[in-house]
Structure 1
Amino acid sequence: MSWARIMTPLSGGEADKATVAAGAMLAEPFGAELAGVYAPADVADVLPWMGEGFLGGVQATALESLKEAAAVGEAKARAAFAACGYGKKQFMSLQTPVWAGLSAESRLCDVVVFTNDPARGRGPLAEAFQQMVADEQRPVLIAREGLKVGGTVAVAWDGGKEASRAARLAMPLLEKASRVVILAALKASSRGFDPARLQAYCAARGVDAGVQVLSEPGDAAPALLKAAEAAGAEILVAGAFGHPRLQEFIFGGATRTFLNSERPSLFLSH
């Protein structure tokens, strides 16, 4: 298995350089295309409060300001993308409706790369992150310090459909890893599951994965993060939003714990 196209949404901000660098790091071992997609603030988002059929001086000024900001942001995003030395890459700038364009581009990519701020609901790409994970159900990589392709990858496993989807979609990453460890918090789950099943699935694809059963009861997420750190994992693969999204929002859930952690980098899929 392999990946052919890695997408990096860009905002024209300072984080673009780190996002592009992470995308290139992920694309290079697969010879994949790196797609830099500039997603500006959408003019269509401000039209409803202007009033149908009316465009006064204040509103017109606001529209012009948005257009000017988008042009400046695009120039900065292009510069950050051009500074990346990876050769197989393509830049594009989205026009209104931006979110529809972002969705369309994501459907023809293998992984979408973000940094920490959007994943934590901060900055101009926060909505894009939620859109990719929850609505488009695209696999995302949250790049953090220490990201490495070809090192140790930990897989959080609970036998559920989100975790299984994440493990399947991450298989190219697992195939490149020097070590794969399956982390199973059996006592923290309400369902019964056998981590050996995932181990066998990996073996059928040529991946020699170890299994570590965690003994801690209660909330699984902190134990999984601790175990991933102890294993020296550069990347943790996990399912996202395993509970209904409203329940995740109210009670936090494992996804929120993973997103609020500092390390390792995360490969998430819903």
Structure 2
Amino acid sequence: MSCKTIMVHMDTSASANARLSLALRLARGFGAHLEGLFARFEPNPREFHVMGGTAAYYDTHRTLRMEQRGAIERLFRAEVSRAQIDGVWAVSEGDPVSAIMQRSRTADLVILGQANPDDPESYIADRFPESALLGAAGPVLLVPYTGRFESFGKRVLVAWNASREAARAVHDALPFILRAVHVTILTPEQSHASCEDLAAMLARHGATSIDITLLAPHAAESTGDALLNHAADGAYDLLVMGAYGHTRFQELVLGGATRTILSTMTLPVLMSH
């Protein structure tokens, strides 16, 4: 199994370069087509024009943002050429979240960045990563806003609770699991029996060096924190897990572990919903 179409979200945030670097390495490793989709928050010009003296400011601001977008596009095209991969640049029209969800329909993998509260340029929309994750058509690889992640996918940690979402994530992550040097299935005690079946399935696909470990959070530790602590202690460089959530009355509701991982992740996380 392999990824042949990868989409990476590009913007003017400080973490965009690291996200692009990882996307380029994955595209080259899989011999995949890479699409760079530029999407960011755009202020409504009417909100400027209704205020006296702000129209000129908006025009200057818009020119600057166009120059920034042009610089990111030139970087993307140069890096794609240098990596000698097939790539294309696209710019979202309208709502950026809807654009990313729509483009995900024809991608094997979507790469997004973690929201950085200290970088205004990383703001795309309210609860952007959550909305894109739950609305994507396939797996989403979320990249933390700090770090370069030169080592990726060699040691894979699978968060397993025998749910539909976890099973979806494992199947979506097979291209990475089959290339990993070591895979650990991390599970609460009640899911241990199904882990044997999961390990056998992965072995039949060709995965090697698989072990099963019980997740035992400390009393004051949440499941999400326990996952991240285990990943750090074992020097894992990819976490695979199901994303839990739903939309109800236009309000986004996420499971506790999903919410914790999205806000405090310390390694790339492949999620599927």
TM-score normalised by length of structure 1:
0.80
Q: 2:156 aligns with which of 153, 162, 165?
A: 153
Aligned to 2:123: 124
Contact 1:118 1:126 in 2 (8 A): no
State yes or no: 1:212 paired with 2:213.
yes
| Greater mean alpha carbon deviation, residues 100-109 or residues 203-212 | 100-109
Is the alpha carbon distance of 1:75 and 1:22 closer, same or farther for their aligned partners in structure 2, counting shifts above 3 Å?
A: same
Measured against aligned partners, the alpha-carbon deviations of 1:127-179 in whole angstroms (never above 9, x if no partner) come to: 54233201225422122433534511110000111111111101101011111
CA RMSD of aligned residues (A): 3.3
Contact 2:109 2:139 in 1 (8 A): yes
Specify every segment of 5 or more residues in structure 2 that has no aligned partner in the other structure, as ranges.
Answer: none
Contact 1:120 1:260 in 2 (8 A): no
Contact 1:27 1:33 in 2 (8 A): yes
Aligned equivalents of 1:14, 1:228: Cα separation in 2: 25
TM-score normalised by length of structure 2:
0.79
Measured against aligned partners, the alpha-carbon deviations of 1:4-60 in whole angstroms (never above 9, x if no partner) come to: 1111111133322112111112222101112111114347x666x79xxx9897786
One-letter code of the match for 1:238? M
State yes or no: 1:74 paired with 2:74.
no
Aligned equivalents of 1:260, 1:79: Cα separation in 2: 31
Aligned equivalents of 1:198, 1:180: Cα separation in 2: 12
Contact 2:156 2:240 in 1 (8 A): yes
Is the alpha carbon distance of 1:65 and 1:94 closer, same or farther for their aligned partners in structure 2, counting shifts above 3 Å?
A: farther
Measured against aligned partners, the alpha-carbon deviations of 1:164-208 in whole angstroms (never above 9, x if no partner) come to: 111110110101111111001226xxx786211211221221113
Contact 1:22 1:113 in 2 (8 A): no
One-letter code of the match for 2:261? F
Percent of aligned pairs sharing the same letter: 25
Aligned to 2:203: 203
One-letter code of the match for 1:71? M
One-letter code of the match for 1:169? D
Specify every segment of 5 or more residues in structure 1 that has no aligned partner in the other structure, as ranges.
Answer: none
Measured against aligned partners, the alpha-carbon deviations of 1:100-153 in whole angstroms (never above 9, x if no partner) come to: 433322211122212333699972335542332012254221224335345111
Aligned equivalents of 2:140, 2:174: Cα separation in 1: 14
Describe how 1:1-270 pairs up with structure 2 within 5 A.
Answer: 1-42=1-42, 64=59, 67-84=62-79, 85-88=82-85, 89-96=87-94, 98-117=96-115, 123-125=122-124, 127=126, 128-144=128-144, 145=147, 146-186=149-189, 194-208=194-208, 209-216=210-217, 219-241=222-244, 248=253, 253-270=256-273
Measured against aligned partners, the alpha-carbon deviations of 1:79-111 in whole angstroms (never above 9, x if no partner) come to: 331342322222122233544433322211122
Total equivalences in the alignment: 260
Aligned equivalents of 2:117, 2:106: Cα separation in 1: 21
Aligned equivalents of 2:3, 2:51: Cα separation in 1: 49
Aligned equivalents of 2:77, 2:213: Cα separation in 1: 43
| Greater mean alpha carbon deviation, residues 252-261 or residues 124-133 | 124-133
